[in-house]
A and B are shown apart, each in its own frame.
Chain A
Amino acid sequence: MPESLVVGLPKSRVVVDAERCKGCDLCVVVCPQRNLHLSERFNRMGYHPVEFRYHGGRGDCTACGLCYWVCPDFAITEVSRLRP
C-alpha cells in the first residue's frame, strides 16, 4: 500500500513491552520527537510503563532507535518503519 494512503499512521513506530518497563524515563527524555510518555496505569511490577503515543502535530517518529539503545530493560522490543 503506498505510504500516501496510510493517513494518520506514524511513518515509524516503537513497540513497548509494558510488562518489562521500569518507568525510568530514559527513552522519554532522549526521544527527539516526544513520542514516548509514561502511562498513567501501572504494570504488574508496579511501574508506570512507557507508551508510544504518536502526536502527528509534534513531529513524526523517525525510527532513530535512541529509545531502543538507551532502554536498560529491553522493554523497547521493536522499532519499525512503514513499508515503502
Chain B
Amino acid sequence: MNADRDFLKGNEALAYGALRTGLNAYYGYPITPSSEIPETLAAEFGRGTYPEFRAFVQAASELEAINMTIGTAATGAKAMTATSGPGFSLKQEGISYAAAMELPLLIVDVNRSGPGLGNLGPEQSDYFQATKGGGHGGYRNIVLAPDSVPEMALFPSLGFELAFRYRMPVILLADAFLGQLKEDLTFPEVPAREFDTSWAVTGARGDHRHVLSSLHLELPDQSRHVEHLRSKYEEIVGAEQRSEEIATADAEVVIVAYGICARLARAAVRSLRDRSVRVGLLRPITLAPFPQDRLNALIDGGVRNLLVVELNSGQMVEDVRLVAEGRARVESLERVGGLLPSSGEVEAAAEDLTSSGDLRSALEAMVQ
C-alpha cells in the first residue's frame, strides 16, 4: 500500500495544486474538457477545507470570469480561471487588460480541438494565442506547458510564483488529453509564499494611493509603458527559459515536443535508443519564453535535424525555425482534430531524419 500517492485526473490535480499553493479565488465558466477544475474547486470551497480559498463563483460568461479574476488579482490575492479554447478566446480581452495593468493571475487553457467549436479532443492549436499575446495590443505572457498529471499539480505553484515575481498573467497551457488523463502522483510540499503586493489596491493610505490603469492618454506615456512591458519580457527571456532534455548529448536528431506529444516522443526516443538510433528530445516547459538558448546550444553542438511534433497545423515549428535560422533541418509531424500520432509514426519520422534514414530514402528514390 502506498497511501501517500494520489490517483487523479490532470484537471483535478491542477485544482488541488492551486489550492495547496494558497489559491484565494476561482472564477470560471464550465467548458469541456476543463470542467473538472471548477467541479473539484466547488466541492472543496463548499467543504471549506482550504481556509485561504475565499471565493468561488461560476460566472455568467468567460468575460465575467476573467474580469472577476482581474478584480481579485488587483487586491494582490491569488486568483485563477480555467477554460478551454472557445472560452480562452473570450478571455483574451481581459488578459490584454491584465497584461497592461501588470496583474498577476493564472489562466488555465485545457486546449481542445478548434477553430470554432471543433471537438473535445486534444489539440495544441491555442499555441499562438497563448504565446504571442492573444488579445489586442503588444504584450507577452509566460506560458507553462505540463506534460503529466504530477506537473498539472505542480505548475499552479510555479505559475503564481512567476506571475507575482514579474506581475503579469501566466498561462498554463494543457491539452484535453492531460486534463482527462489520470496518473499516480505525490503532491509536493509547497511552502506558502508571501509575495510583494505593495502595488495592490487595498485602500489609499494618506496621500499614497494605488491606481491600476491601462489608460495612458499621453502618447509618450503609452510608449514608455509598452517599452516597459517589452523590457520586462526580455528579462524573462533571459532568466526563465525552462526545458527538459532526454538523450540529447549525442543525438543526431532532436524531437521538439511539449504536452501529450512529449509523452509520445519519450516513448519513441526510448524505443529508438533501444535500436541504437541516436535520437533525443527537447521538451519546452516554458513555451513562452521559448527555450531558445538550449535549442541554440544543441544546434551549436552539432544537431542538424529537428523534428517538431505538435497537435496543430504547424505553430511551434515556426518558433523552432526562428531559432534554427537555417542552421538545421526542421521537419514537423502534425495532427489535428483530436487525433494523435502513434509513437510508431513519431519513431519513423525521427528515424527518417537520421543519416541512415537519409540513405534509405536515397536508395528508395533510386529504385523508383
Judge A-B direct contact (beta carbons within 8 Å). Answer: no
